[in-house]
Amino acid sequence: MRRSWILAILVSTACWGQFAPPRVIGVINQPNSGTRTKKMLDDRRYLIDHGIETSIFRGDILNVYREQRLSRRMPEPMRLFIGTMTITDSQRGSSVGVFSPHEPMMAQALIKLKTSLKNDIVVPRLLLDSGVLFDPGEFALKPRAQAEFAKVAQFVQLFSPAKLVIEGHTDSDGEDVSNFRLSEQRAGEIRQYLINNYAFISAAMIEARGFGESRPLVSNDTPENKALNRRIEVIIWE
């Protein structure tokens, strides 16, 4: 098994230059089938085929997606968000992380939790506080919001992606439909600002999506947690 990991890392190094989404290539501390406990499963470490050479560093939290064809008619598989990966170690050619599943998605019948997560995609993200960018319930950018876009520009230039996705998220206050629409409008505002103000970000490479309250980072049980869930995610897609 270890030789296969090394081979996969060597193959990936030959393709460096243009950003390619990192993938999980194995489990480092796979427990024996007869001795598994919940703690062992929670503490499992996953090996990823990219590391510091693609600006993945210890402490980073990346989004994890599973490619799935929902229909035989689909020409390409769809990426389904299944959780996050916290990087615990990174070096040239590989990194190691701990997976935190997104429970609502993992409960879906079309997703089955493979303990290895092998071939699942792991991509960098940047979180922006919606409270800094927007007034409550509004999607027009605040006058001082522009300062936050320097972070976005630096993040994008770090990876030089072919595709960038802007996601809007809300807390659970209000109606589902209203939250979805607000998150979509906010993501659209961010997208348009980036297109209008940064020559290296074109309309063809950036997409805006809204998810409303469907993907909370934490439970919406306190004002502090709700503030964390009201966010914009900038995702290096490919």
pLDDT value of residue 68: 81
d(CA 74, CA 92): 36
The stretch 169-193 carries a mean pLDDT of: 97
CATH number at residue 71: 2.40.10.410
Give residue 18's pLDDT band: very low, low, confident or very high (50, 70, 90).
Answer: low
* Stated pTM of the model: 0.83
Q: Are residues 110 and 196 in the same domain?
A: no
Residues 21 and 98 in one domain: yes
Chosen domain end from 88, 123, 158 = 123
Query: Do 109 and 197 belong to one domain?
Result: no
Tens digit of each residue's pLDDT (9 = 90 or more) over 73-99: 777 888 989 899 999 999 999 999 999
**Which runs of E-coded beta strand occur in 60-180?**
61-68, 78-91, 94-101, 121-123, 125-129, 164-169
Which residues constitute the domain of residue 223?
Answer: 125-236
The type of residue at 44 is R
How would you label 117-134 residue by residue, b for 16+ Cβ within 10 Å and e otherwise? beebbbbbbbebebeebb
Does residue 27 carry a pLDDT above 70? yes
Mean pLDDT of 220-236: 96
Mean pLDDT on 218-237 = 95
The last residue of one of the domains, among 123, 147, 162, is 123
**Out of 83-92, 143-152, 163-172, which region has the weakest mean confidence (pLDDT)?**
143-152
Q: Answer yes or no: are the C-beta atoms of 48 and 25 closer than 8 Å.
A: yes
User: Are 136 and 117 within one domain?
Assistant: no
Local structure of residue 30 (DSSP, 8 states): P
Same domain? For 68 and 10 the reply is: yes
Final residue of a structural domain among 79, 100, 123? 123
Domain of 157, CATH number, reads 3.30.1330.60
Same domain, 150 and 198: yes
pLDDT at 116: 62
Q: Is the pLDDT of residue 31 over 70?
A: no
